[in-house]
Amino acid sequence: MLSQWIVEYLQWVFLLILLLNLAQRRQYETAARKRLATLYIAAGLILFYAVAHVIRLLEISDWWLLPTGVALVFALTRGESAVRAFRLYCRGCGSRLSLASIVYQDSNLCSDCRFGEPPETPYEEVDERKD
């Protein structure tokens, strides 16, 4: 049963997310929004865990997980939501972000863009008027 698997293993995922949240606490100046996002994700997982547990206690069909799962995915992905706080690519130049930037930087900018040095492009236009 799916609900049995969720009850057995989702607590470990929840624990990993809470450990990530504690690690983000050390970077509070730059990761406040992402720390709140991990709390929302953890709250959603606890709700899903609770529904799976109730399904096991009442011995009803696992199909009752579906509405909860749909509502959870909708709540965590709409608009500027919890899951969308974590981007894989830089907002400025589109390059792949490091794991530290993904987890700890609310700006979602790579180190080059963050410190005001946009990366050089191979086809950069040269201004000839400065000669």
53-92 mask for Zn ion (x: CB under 5 A)?
Answer: -------------------------------------x-x
> Which CB, 69 or 92, lies closer to Zn ion?
92
First to last CA, the chain: 73
- Cβ atoms 103, 89 nearer than 8 A: no
Q: Which of 31, 41, 51, 113 binds Zn ion (CB under 5 A)?
A: 113
* Rounded Cα distance, 119 and 6, in Å: 44
93 part of the interface to Zn ion, by CB under 5 A: yes
Tracing tokens 């400065």 back to the chain, one arrives at 130
Question: Helices 2-25 and 65-77: crossing angle, nearest 10°?
Answer: 20
97 part of the interface to Zn ion, by CB under 5 A: no
> Which CB, 11 or 95, lies closer to Zn ion?
95
37 part of the interface to Zn ion, by CB under 5 A: no
Which window, 22-30, 55-63, 66-74, 107-115, contacts Zn ion (CB under 5 A)?
107-115
Report the SS3 class of residue 59. Answer: coil
- Cβ atoms 61, 26 nearer than 8 A: no
> Which CB, 75 or 102, lies closer to Zn ion?
102
Report the SS3 class of residue 37. Answer: helix
Binding site residues, Zn ion, CB under 5 A: 90, 92-93, 110, 113
